[in-house]
Amino acid sequence: MSETQEIPIFLQKPRRVVRKFMARPQHEGNGAIVKRSIGRYELKYFDPFLVLDEFSVATPAGFPDHPHRGFETVTYMLEGAIKHEDFEGHVGILRTGDLQWMTAGRGIVHSEMPLGSGISKGLQLWINLSSNNKMIEPKYQEMKREEIMTASTTDINVRVIAGEAMGVLSPVYTRTPTMYLDFTLMPSAHLRQPINPTWNSFAYILQGEGIFGTEKSDPIGPHNLLLLGHGDGIDVWNKAIRPLRFVLVGGEPLGEPVAQFGPFVMNNDEEIDQTINDFNLCINGFEKAKHWKSTELMGS
């Protein structure tokens, strides 16, 4: 972790909170429950973000074999462990603080199942890909907890998952330009974080209570998603007696039509029909799905 000298940041137009959503529980996978904020009927899409889930799952529940095409999934573990495996032979374990940035591209079939006897918690964000990138080859970027870049001042800590904060730049490559920051503010802390003025952005609160946008705003607590308006950055205050933890996410809008059918996200209905056909026939990127099952299903 790098200790960062506090340098004053001036914002010409601080962003304000324009809408607030409490994440709602819903069933996903096999017996799993997620708290979803982006990707439900009140907020189906926030360009380029398709889904934001806060998951909490324990065995035997989980997310067994399922496909994806046309976007990226970003899995960030908050507690416990998840085992991931796919039809390309990629197997890995994500533990507390670990990150997996998966580009599904033209096709992935994989499983995500909790390990151990406790509860596994984390965030999963779906980021849309442009039409030029939807059919690229699948790829992974994975980082262990200790590999994620961090910075801190006397009362603020940030884990830089993607993008830049407090002079620290993440090595993660984002095909859809994205910022993903995990902040912890101690009591009485004030954060001023720049955001690209042309990007859409939101905050999602994990722990504590914070004041976002203007100092006179009401404090907002956990499991709330805050859509931020236009501007070149955000002010956040922690006036509570306990630490405030939240993720701040921003991304460049694609400005393209979106057609979605469950785990498939393309630009129009014809491409969705083609994707369903490809998956059912195990062609055009799904060839290996024909004879593959995860170890979880093979043992059942």
68 is in an annotated binding site: yes
The amino acid that residue 89 corresponds to is G
66 is in an annotated binding site: yes
230 is in an annotated binding site: no
110 is in an annotated binding site: yes
Token output for 92: 């890995």
Binding residues: 66, 68, 110, 112
Binding residues for Fe cation: 66, 68, 110, 112
